[in-house]
Structure 1
Amino acid sequence: MTFNVKKKALLSLTATVIAASALTACGTTKSDSNTAASAGSSNAPLDVSIMTILLSANPPANDNAIKQAIEKATNSKMNIQWVSANSYPDKLNVTLASGDIPDLVYIPDPFTSVFRGMVQQGAFWDLSSYIKDYPNLNSKISKTAWDLTKMEDGKNYSIPRPRPTEGDTFFIFRKDWLDNLGLKVPTTTDELYTTIKSMTENDPDKNGKKDTIGFSINATNGDKASDPLGQVENMFAGANGDWKWTGDQLVFKSFLPEEHKALEFMTKLYNEKLIPEDFASMKTSQVKDIVKQGKAGTLVDKTGTNADYLNDLKKIDPNVKETDFYPATNINGYNPKGPGFAGVLAIPKTVKEDKMKRILKMIDTWMNDDVFAIQQYGFEGVDYVVKDGVKVVDSKKLSDDGGPDFNQIVYVADPYASTVKNFFQKDTQELYKKIQDERAKTSSADISIGLYSPTAMQYLPEMQKKVLDEKVKVMLGKDSLAQWDDFVNKMKADPNVVKMTQEMTDAYKKRTAAK
């Protein structure tokens, strides 16, 4: 998760924040007037101040029953500063600049120049050597999340707020159409082409009309490649994200020979009218609408979004089933892994070591199944009832009682949350979980997340837009593949690209070499 901060404001704050952090890094600590409560005695409740984001209209009151139950379970007394989502970026920057930082603070994006600068100045605890002592922090936060939130020195200065790593956005096919066409779920790009072509030309819905499209895809999402286009490129490159490790360096993926093949593939789909004619200008909502209207057989999404499509499709075809949305396992041996986190929690060095350890213990205890269940379900007879041994939650009541708000402090991610929902039919859940387990054996994360390159910070967004514009020209036939190759050769020779590539490579080597 990231938030947008205007560049000038961010840069002006950076100098102020780093100056403030330099002071805090010199050994300044918060008042010890309540030592037993704040740190020393393990029997006294931990007095901890917290600042986090608020996504609901009203924050939980200090005497909120869910809050009090969590405090009792974790032996803590939490002073929570809830800040609305719209105000959080500005409030966070002001708080960091002031030097008066709460004991535990939510950082939506740990890779901003402000947070990086403060870490470099020693303003936040290096938690790397402590994590091993807390079993839930190890087992319920993925290794991927811990790896990708390391700073450039290879150390962890924050605790990732976990999200599922597996079941990320990838290819999904209309299985009923595949069955009608006598096809299997594709596992190679050649099979994918055959599937898309057949779904366009061979009446896959058996309505006697030539009114379907094989692949619902658009080209861009703002200044970035759309998810469908991105996954086409990824399956050819065998890598997730903008960079791939090749030989002994990171290479910008679009400059690899595999990108030529991806563009050749996409150009073929466009020329043969196997994708929407106006794909280059379509919005993401329009891509989804084509699927909802029963006009496309291939899409790119998470299977957990199944119901978004199915509810509309059933109005057209009441016989369509959940399992008619069938996810690919791999294509060309590739499928994507998510980063496994959405923001982080950081502890400033103004907190003494013994209290820092108690905060880690509080979070670790909070992640116990029985404790996390307090905010997940609320209280029996109030927020949920038990039917046939299953907790049935009144979502509105739980929301009114503030349960979901506490997810913005501590969260435990269901590893299958991106893939299934609890309202899916049992056979659907079993099928999707089985496929996710297979995908997990070969999934690839975006290894460039969090890598720091000063040149990339300044130059990469502009370069990405330029590269994407050229890709679209090639796919539409305005430029040839030979012109694409010339474009790539010129870009690779650009001094900024050369410098950025070296910086990214050095950052990756440094992060992975650290113990």
Structure 2
Amino acid sequence: MQRKKISFAILSAILGLGTLLSGCGGNEEVTSTASGNSQGQSGQFATKMKISMFNQGTFNAAAPVPPRDEDVQRQMLEKEMNIDLDMMIPQAGQATTKLNTLIAGGDIPDLIFLKSRADLAQYYDQGVLADLTPYLDQFPELKKRFGNDSWEAMSYQGKTIGVPGYDNVNGISRSFFIRNDWLKKLNMEVPTTPDELFEVMKAFTEKDPDGNGKNDTYGFIGGMNKEGNLQTYGFDSLMWMFGVNPPSAVEIKDNEPIFLFIDPKMKEALAYINKMMAAKVVDPDWVTMNSPDLLDQKMFKGKVGFMIRDARRLEPDYQQKMKEISGEVPEWIVIPPMKGPYGDQIVERKSFQGNSWAISAKADKDKIIRILSMLNYLFTDEEAYPNFAYGIKGIHWDVVDGKIKNKTSELSKEMKEKYLWVDHYRMPRRGDDAEYFSFQNPKTAEAFKDNQQYVGPTLPGNLLTPDPSDTLDADRTRFINESLVKFMTGKEPLSNWDNFLQTLDTKFDMQKYKETAIKQFKEAGLIK
């Protein structure tokens, strides 16, 4: 189904660009002028072409751009595509200003990496970017490289105006950690359901699992950020057991939007967390846990038995921190998420594809084909993949026993610093590629791999943008977050749930938000 326009609350351009350029290309079918096909095969382009790239997608903006004779990846791209590549790496925090300055001066880069969908739409509206719809069917492998949800994020006004920038990484930062040594001591099994998890957390709190004779352990700790948002701090993972999540979590089912933060199942999720609070299995310090570092400190101190943390906490450096702080290295293991009463078993939902590659509207058809061929080569050529995702063969990676081995973690500090610039080309790395991360602990790689099956699809609600006329949007979100916390802690009894919903409607005009969501979903072609 072709996607239609999504309304955007577009910010005014910093430099007041207006519509600088005319036309973004028609929708007539375009064929490549390259010899052979458009799938990035060596020698297909007879004429050398200069391509300028604005690469704020680099994984290290501070790294210098090396001379051509030292830049192996650049040489590969230039040889394969018969191009002269001029890559610009903007300084961190200055990319938007730099790009707007270039655009205002009429010096629009041919290929632009953008970090947000709002930027993609904004620059297209200003006439800066090309419509890629007529060209993409010539690149079936590139289209297959990214999922439908990623391509949906590239759609605007019924046209595809970008190529996904790089894979987001899922299945690692919100891993379910549990103290296996405590389970063994208490003769308990790894929990698989919310009820089993509650009993384990209760035992961790009440039965002195560390054996020090003190009442100083807890079953769980989570937190919320300084704005009072529960996302990513642990409690939201507990809510996923019931198939719901805090504000912005909007699903589509049976051609209707489902607002998960006010769904009836949210009441059940809050009742579960309130039960945890009442049983005192939650470390009372949770109210001060407003940063990931603070939660890490709790993990390192070894007084909590179940947490939602990054699987990389199994890596040697973090294990050493645990030993330094608590005097021991606890037997943390990563377990599958609990299977909830409605069959939900979710680590997290796939991150929204916000970043993208866009092409200048000044580029003619031949240049657009050449650029798309380069992206096709970058993202789909299996032989080239390790050279971009990992680095230089013989230094960052090699073939060991017939398999590719990422050796980056084995490099000395001096060697890593010498080749920092390879980070400018790592965008093709796959989000589920455990070898890319060069995990030192096999258990980390195992957890990362196992978690992939519990990563749910991207929430359609991520496509929504605030309606500028909705003056209650920020207050509404704040009220919802505050109310969820009150229900969790028991400061507001769940018997007042209907009053909460009524207040949302009467005081915060929830109906307007619903109508905006329906309108945007229809424009996107997600509902009829």
Same fold (TM over 0.5): yes
1:222-371 mapped onto 2 (5 Å cutoff):
222-227=227-232, 228-238=234-244, 241-246=248-253, 248-284=255-291, 285-307=293-315, 309-315=318-324, 316=326, 318=328, 320-321=330-331, 324-328=333-337, 330-331=339-340, 332-335=343-346, 336-339=348-351, 341=353, 343-367=355-379, 368-371=381-384
Q: Which has the higher helix share?
A: 1
- Which has the higher mean CA deviation after the structures are superposed, 209-218 or 310-319? 310-319
Shift of 1:235: 2.7
Counterpart of 1:205, as a letter, is: D
Shift of 1:60: 0.8
Which residue number in structure 2 is paired with residue 6 of structure 1? none
1:18-417 mapped onto 2 (5 Å cutoff):
18-21=18-21, 23=22, 25=24, 42-53=45-56, 55-63=60-68, 64-66=70-72, 67-112=74-119, 115-120=120-125, 123-128=128-133, 130-151=135-156, 153=158, 155-167=160-172, 169-227=174-232, 228-238=234-244, 241-246=248-253, 248-284=255-291, 285-307=293-315, 309-315=318-324, 316=326, 318=328, 320-321=330-331, 324-328=333-337, 330-331=339-340, 332-335=343-346, 336-339=348-351, 341=353, 343-367=355-379, 368-380=381-393, 390=405, 392-393=407-408, 394=411, 396=413, 397-407=415-425, 410-417=427-434
CA distance in 2, matches of 1:84, 1:428: 33
8 Å Cα contact 1:251/1:501 also seen in 2: no
8 Å Cα contact 1:216/1:288 also seen in 2: no
Shift of 1:299: 1.2
- Which has the higher mean CA deviation after the structures are superposed, 421-430 or 364-373? 421-430
Aligned pair count reads: 487
Classify the secondary structure of the residue corresponding to 1:179: helix
Counterpart of 1:60, as a letter, is: V
Which residue number in structure 2 is paired with residue 471 of structure 1? 484
Classify the secondary structure of the residue corresponding to 1:297: strand
8 Å Cα contact 1:181/1:204 also seen in 2: yes
Cα deviation code 1:449-472 (max 9, x no counterpart): 122342587643332222212333
Structure 1 residue 510 corresponds to structure 2 residue 523 = yes
Cα deviation code 1:429-464 (max 9, x no counterpart): 34652x235425xx2422211223425876433322
Classify the secondary structure of the residue corresponding to 1:274: coil
Change in 2 beyond 3 A, CA 1:448/1:93: farther
Which residue number in structure 2 is paired with residue 429 of structure 1? 445
CA distance in 1, matches of 2:220, 2:187: 18
Change in 2 beyond 3 A, CA 1:360/1:290: same
Which residue number in structure 1 is paired with residue 494 of structure 2? 481
CA distance in 2, matches of 1:93, 1:184: 58
Counterpart of 1:313, as a letter, is: M
Note the residue ranges of structure 1 that are not aligned, 5 or more in a row: 1-9, 28-34
Classify the secondary structure of the residue corresponding to 2:84: strand
Change in 2 beyond 3 A, CA 1:154/1:238: farther
Note the residue ranges of structure 2 that are not aligned, 5 or more in a row: 1-9, 27-33, 36-43
Shift of 1:50: 0.8
CA distance in 2, matches of 1:261, 1:221: 26
Shift of 1:474: 3.5
8 Å Cα contact 1:145/1:160 also seen in 2: no
CA distance in 2, matches of 1:163, 1:475: 31
Change in 2 beyond 3 A, CA 1:160/1:262: same
CA distance in 1, matches of 2:231, 2:527: 34
Which residue number in structure 2 is paired with residue 5 of structure 1? none
- Which has the higher mean CA deviation after the structures are superposed, 392-401 or 78-87? 392-401
Classify the secondary structure of the residue corresponding to 1:20: coil
Shift of 1:489: 1.4
Of all paired residues, the percent bearing the same amino acid is 22
Change in 2 beyond 3 A, CA 1:141/1:444: closer
Change in 2 beyond 3 A, CA 1:86/1:117: closer
Shift of 1:216: 1.5
8 Å Cα contact 2:298/2:304 also seen in 1: yes
Shift of 1:191: 2.4
Counterpart of 2:46, as a letter, is: N
Change in 2 beyond 3 A, CA 1:224/1:61: same
Change in 2 beyond 3 A, CA 1:294/1:427: closer
Classify the secondary structure of the residue corresponding to 1:102: coil
Cα deviation code 1:223-265 (max 9, x no counterpart): 5224212222333234685223355432433222222222222
CA distance in 2, matches of 1:72, 1:399: 26
Change in 2 beyond 3 A, CA 1:459/1:160: farther
Counterpart of 1:445, as a letter, is: T
Shift of 1:143: 3.2
Change in 2 beyond 3 A, CA 1:122/1:471: same
CA distance in 2, matches of 1:391, 1:421: 8
Cα deviation code 1:270-310 (max 9, x no counterpart): 23221121322322222221111111111113324432643
CA distance in 2, matches of 1:382, 1:504: 50
CA distance in 2, matches of 1:328, 1:243: 21
Classify the secondary structure of the residue corresponding to 1:225: coil
Shift of 1:146: 2.0
CA distance in 2, matches of 1:482, 1:514: 34
CA distance in 1, matches of 2:400, 2:25: 57
8 Å Cα contact 1:174/1:325 also seen in 2: no
